[in-house]
Structure formats: C-alpha cells, structure tokens
Amino acid sequence: MNQASPRPRLIATDLDGTLLCQGGTVSTRTAAALAAAESAGIQVVFVTGRPPRWMQWLGPHIGGHGVAICSNGGVVYDVRRERVLESFPLGAEEAGKVVALLRDRLPGTAFAFEFPGGFAREPQYQVPMWGAEDDHPIAPAEELLADQRVADCYKLLARHPDLDPDDFLAQARAAVGSAAEITRSSPIALLEISAPGVTKASTLARWCAEQGIDRTEVLAFGDMPNDLEMLAWAGTGYAVANAHPDVLASVARRTVSNEEDGVAQVIEQLLVR
C-alpha cells in the first residue's frame, strides 16, 4: 500500500467492491474510519453506480451532510431526507437513440431503466445480482419511452446474455459514440448508460465546486471502469487491490482489497499525519 498523501478536505469513495465487504456490508473498522474522517472535518461522499433507492440502509455511514452521488453521477441525493437535490437525466430522445443503436449493432441486448419513479425493464431483461425488484413496469423499451413511463431516467441499463463484459463495453461504445456515456461496474455483461458528459467525475466536480473544494483536495477510491474518470480527476486516487485490470493499470496508488478494509487503512494513515 502506498503512503497516504497530505490530508484532503473530501473523500470520495465508490461502494460495491471498494468500500463495502462481500454482501454489501460496512465493516466495523470501515465504519469507524469514516466516522473519524468526518470528526476530523473531512467530508465523505459516496459516489456510486447504485440508484438512490439502494442507499437507505447506508444512512448511518453517510456523514454529516447526508449526501451521496448516485447512478454514476446521474443524481445528487440527500439520503436522510430521501430527496433528489439535483439530477442530470438521460432524455427520452437520447435513450431511444441509444436503444436503437445497440439493438442494431448488438442483437440480443435487453434494456432496463432507473428513473425517479423507480425501475422498469424489458421482459427479456433478467434482474441481476439483487434479486426480485418491487412491482415495476415490464414492456419493450420503445414502449416505455413512448408513453413517458421512464421519463428523465437517471441511468439506462443494457444487458447481453452471451458477450464478455469488457467486449460488450467496447462494442457498445463504438456503436453509440458521443450519444451517451457508457461504462460498467458489474462482473456480468451489464452496461450503465448516462447522458452525454455525465460521469461520477463530472458530478463530483460540480459538488466540490459548490463546496469550495479544489480537485487537489479530493481523495478518491474505486475499483471498476465506472470509477476511472473520478480517479483521474481527483487530486489523489487509490485503486483497491481487487480492482479491474484497467483500473489497476491506470491508477498509481494502491491499497489492499475491500475485504481487507483497504479504504479504512488509507484513512487511518492520513488521520495520524
């Protein structure tokens, strides 16, 4: 693990695979480190691909301000008040264009939507990882977009049954070009699509500017391709040891894995400086 940099004013950390242990839990050590950072006057912001509806149970660890950046920058969300403070949605026309391009280039792709009212999906989109969702609309993507059931979506999801996850990402980016931001954070062939220019980095930069915090005063942690822009933007970026190969190749500083409390170890070191 590399030596920690001078004390930051803000810590921006991804959740799954970075801060959280297997099963999505916050370890006792990590919870204590986050609380200590806040007590020392360092703001902690969770910057995650998760939608707002998956943030409630993290409330005790969110820090004094109660704010998280969700959906890869698509939403700034007050976790305690359960209120969207700001959003940068993918419009229906933009989403429709992306759906059409991916259907044409990558047949078999199925789509789902994260939007202010919840979650919606196509019949062939199998809900991954998190089990059955609450009651939600199920219909072809074009129909969901046409009748405004998924208006102002925070994130469009695209899943393929056969492709390698990294190959799916590369082919989708080639197909869509500048029409949207496409990334991934899942171990399966599941892509996360945002409005053009909307990334974890763009919304974090906006939040920091509003707080009067310079990028050089930001310490960031991540593990997957959806973290790359944030890790590059932050003054100091760390990859956890279990990170995706592209992240390990791009980020100079390393800490141990999420299961070994890698984020907590860095925070503990910087607080004794």
Judgement on whether residues 159 and 236 belong to the same structural domain of the protein: no
The reported pLDDT for the residue numbered 4 is 46
Report the Cα–Cα distance between both ends of the chain, in Å, rounded: 16
Q: Tell whether 4 is covered by a domain.
A: no
pTM over 0.95: no
Which of 164, 273, 238 has the alpha carbon at shortest distance from 11? 238
Judgement on whether residues 180 and 227 belong to the same structural domain of the protein: no
Which of 61, 89, 49 has the alpha carbon at shortest distance from 190? 49
The reported pLDDT for the residue numbered 117 is 85
Q: Please count the other Cβ atoms lying within 10 Å of the Cβ belonging to residue 56.
A: 10
Residue pointed to by tokens 């991954």: 128
Please identify, among 172, 194, 216, the residue that sits at the C-terminal boundary of a domain: 194
75 three-state secondary structure: strand
Q: In the chain, count of helices (H) and strands (E)?
A: 8, 13
Torsion of CA 222, 224, 225, 231, to 10 degrees: 10
Domain count, the chain: 2
Q: Tell whether 115 is covered by a domain.
A: yes
Q: Tell whether 5 is covered by a domain.
A: no
Please identify, among 194, 219, 240, the residue that sits at the C-terminal boundary of a domain: 194
| pLDDT in single tens digits along all 273 residues of the chain | 555 456 899 999 999 999 999 888 899 999 999 999 999 999 999 999 999 988 877 878 877 778 999 999 999 999 988 899 999 999 999 999 999 999 999 999 999 999 998 899 999 998 754 444 567 899 999 999 999 889 899 999 999 999 999 999 999 999 999 999 999 999 999 999 999 999 999 999 999 999 999 999 999 999 999 999 999 999 999 999 999 999 999 999 999 999 999 999 999 999 987
Task: Check the CA dihedral 99-102-107-111 and report its sign.
Answer: negative
Q: What pairing do the DSSP bridges indicate for beta strands 10-13 and 190-194? A: unpaired
Q: Which domain holds residue 149?
A: 92-194
Judgement on whether residues 203 and 84 belong to the same structural domain of the protein: yes
The reported pLDDT for the residue numbered 252 is 94
Judgement on whether residues 127 and 190 belong to the same structural domain of the protein: yes
What b/e string do you get for 152-190 counting C-beta neighbours within 10 Å, with b at 16 or more?
A: bbbbbbbbbeebebeebbebbeebbeebbbbbbbbeebb
Q: What is the DSSP letter of 243?
A: -
The reported pLDDT for the residue numbered 237 is 98
DSSP 106-128: STT-EEEEEETTEEEE-TT-PPP
Judgement on whether residues 204 and 80 belong to the same structural domain of the protein: yes
The reported pLDDT for the residue numbered 128 is 55
Q: Tell whether 184 is covered by a domain.
A: yes
Q: How far is the C-alpha of 257 from the C-alpha of 29, rounded, in Å? A: 14
Judgement on whether residues 243 and 263 belong to the same structural domain of the protein: yes
